[in-house]
């Protein structure tokens, strides 16, 4: 009965400017699945990127996923905004 979530290494969350409980979209590059869920802090330095609950049915261990976070900004601020993009190395390490 768990509602689902994404557990993500706290190092990756910090690098991307993400916070616990933030709503995110997950795009699975291996199977095309897209889901919306929320973040749970994973152990720092662990490389964890784990779909939990029903979300876990949308991917397999080893799948490549893209984690997307959106924000709402005033139009003038949005024009100047530069998104943060993080490309982890093998094992989801920075």
- The residues annotated as belonging to the active site are 5, 38
Measured between alpha carbons, how far is 78 from 38 in angstroms, rounded to an integer? 23
Distance of CA 44 to the CA centre of its chain: 15
- Contact assessment for residue 34 and residue 27, using Cβ atoms and an 8 Å cutoff: yes
Determine the longest span between alpha carbons in the chain, in angstroms: 43
Measured between alpha carbons, how far is 14 from 81 in angstroms, rounded to an integer? 18
- Contact assessment for residue 4 and residue 57, using Cβ atoms and an 8 Å cutoff: no
């Amino acid at each position: 009965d768990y509602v689902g979530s994404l557990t993500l290494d706290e190092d990756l969350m910090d690098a991307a400017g993400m916070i616990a409980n933030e709503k995110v979209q997950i795009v699975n590059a291996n199977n095309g699945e897209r889901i919306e869920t929320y973040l749970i802090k994973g152990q720092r330095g662990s490389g964890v990127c784990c779909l939990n609950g029903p979300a876990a049915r949308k991917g397999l261990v080893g799948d490549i996923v893209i984690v997307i976070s959106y924000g709402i900004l005033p139009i003038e601020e949005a024009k100047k905004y530069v998104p943060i993009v993080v490309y982890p190395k093998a094992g989801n390490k920075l």
